[in-house]
A = this chain, B = another copy of it.
Amino acid sequence: MPNSKITFLPHNVSLEVPPGTSVIQAALDAGVHINASCGGEGVCGKCRVRIEAGSLEGGVSEKLSAEDVHSGYRLACQSAVTADVTVRIPVESAIDAGVLNRPASPRRTARIQEFNFDELKERGLFLAPVEKKYLEIPPPSLQDNLPDLTRLIGFLTLQHDEHRLEADLGVIRKTPEVLRQDDFRVTATLVRPVREDGKTRIINLQPGDTSGRSCAVAMDIGTTTVYGQVIDLITGAVRAEHAEFNGQISYGEDVITRIVYAEKPGGLDRIQEVVIGTINKILRKIIRRSGVDPEDISTITLAGNTTMTQLLLKINPRCIRRAPYVPAASIYPPIKARDLGMELGDHVTALVYPCVSSYVGGDIVAGVMGSGIYRSEELTLFLDVGTNAEIVIGNKDWLACAACSAGPAFEGGGLKFGMRAAKGAIEDFSLDPGTLEPMIVTIGKVRPKGICGSGLINMVAVMFEMGVIDNLGKFDPGLKTPRIRKTDGGREFVVAWKAETQIDRDISISEIDIENLIRAKGAIYSGCMTLLTEVGLGVGDIQRIILAGGFGSFVDLAKAMTIGLLPEMDPDKVIYLGNGSLLGAKMSSLTNRIRRDVAAVVRKMTNFELSDTASYMDNYIAALFLPHTDINRFPRLKARVEARRQAV
């Protein structure tokens, strides 16, 4: 279905939206304010709009009289755009038109980097890591009774020009039987060497012709969630995917508590078994769903942070959590999947992404490989934000990286009314600059239960830009609104009144909450600045930003730049990678080019321990402002703020 055009009056702002978009969401995207504080459930009845041309779906409510409905009034939060429509926002629902008379800055998240297997091939980046070869071999005789494997290898050379072959013991064990199962018609699975001068390994032998079926598994072992995919090595398609919470969550929510558990007697064995249990659960699901014969799965590639990786490989992680934070290894050898306990064929080798340091792990390396920064001319800032944020800056010539503890603010943690991005979380927000009445949107369009990370960023950005809070995050005591009130710990702003919530309490955002966010964004921004400082560059040198992890998918780029979380730049230059760890694992399954390059990339990635880097504290203190102690670094924001001051 094509997009529909919605025009808001009296602002005369139009935008195209996908059919089914709620009017309140469209208003938010258009930068048009409609009073709405119930999150979209239609409880408050404040968000009335009037249809002037075209039509809307829904929006009729007991909050509207029959006469209102007849006159074209609808509740914006309850009505959906299904065709071109023009709506007028009545005075009681609208903001001061004067203030709004600025160019619309539609809500923009980063565009997604698309993965294209054919393009990969075209660009010469495709080096098949696994190939299957079908053979019809003449049976042996007394005149020609070479050992079975010698015969097999001979005909791989003769019929497929294969050289430098070697076979695993598992293949030798099955060769006599498999050769004779279908009259010496067999398919050999070959694993290509990573280095050009290496040997090609025969890892499996199947009766008959199975050369059209070849798959791999890619997995991201996250601290919270484990994602798995079955990849078709012939088409590059994802045949099935599934995610499960990492079973280790019962042993602690973060890496530190997991390490503490692993240090107990028997703890490491136990916690390794648990993640293998999660992996096997996913394997069973994705193998069943994809309909793939497990014999046709030849490799598994896994990426995870350093702690997840060491736990997966049963490597004691105790030195990770103690200064000077030393991981056991950077590069791990290929390991038989079965030896780790994975329910995969005996022939399957597990490849585990290398890590850089204790807090820049294989997930980040996978993201760097998957995003292709390491081959890029452009100076790129790669950011994976969660409880910990990992930062990589560089291009094909150099890469600097660091990790910083952002705290849980971006995941809605540590706030008075914080919550994960689940149903009922306030994720979007705007304010009527005149009345300071909010418009909020919750996930699932239900009455609010709390505030998630993106909601917090949006609130702080909006309040800062409207002057509700100052650059220290403090509320303007001169503002007249019942929503701002004093508490023991400073002022707070009531986002939703008790009656409009699901929790039977006012939902508010306090100066302490804002301070938490400023600290979190300050840690990340100053991490980036420190890496730049250390390599003698400035923020203006960054040509591109790549966001990885769940955070990147929902963050409003303009708002993130407003609070100083991201350096200010053209949103077109910001790319969302999705799950970079999973993408890297997938790409490594598809091409040996990644495996060949990764060791050199890891060596190239210079790790900075921020706590031990002289410039970090200076950068951090300078970043504990909205957006920064030096607003000149954010010229567009500065211009907007100045324009607003003049307008007021």
Contacts and interface: CB of A to CB of B under 8 A. Distances in A.
Contacts of A324: 140-142, 144-145
B142 A319 contact: no
Nearest to A318: B176
A333 B314 CA distance: 26
A143 interface: yes
Interface in A306-333: 313-316, 318-319, 323-333
Given A315-B172, A357-B145, A329 B609 contact: no
Chain A binding site: helix, strand, loop or mixed by DSSP?
A: loop
Report copies per complex. Answer: 2
Contacts of A313: 169, 172-173
A355 B172 CA distance: 13
Interface stretch (A147-155, A237-245, A484-492, A550-558): A147-155
A313 B149 CA distance: 15
B316 A147 contact: no
A646 interface: no
B329 A150 contact: yes
Contact of A329 (B142, B149, B315, B328): B149
Nearest to A170: B333
A38 to B, nearest CB: 51
Given A313-B169, A333-B167, A325 B145 contact: yes
A169 B332 contact: yes
A168 interface: yes
A176 B316 contact: yes
Nearest to A355: B147
Given A148-B326, A328-B148, A176 B143 contact: no
A313 B171 CA distance: 12
Given A147-B326, A172-B313, 4 more contacts: A142-B323, A144-B324, A150-B330, A176-B319
Q: Which 10 A-B pairs have the closest CB atoms?
A: A149-B329, A142-B612, A145-B324, A147-B330, A172-B329, A142-B324, A147-B327, A140-B324, A150-B330, A176-B319
Interface of A: 140-151, 166-169, 172-173, 175-177, 197, 313-316, 318-319, 323-333, 335, 355, 357-358, 607, 609, 611-612
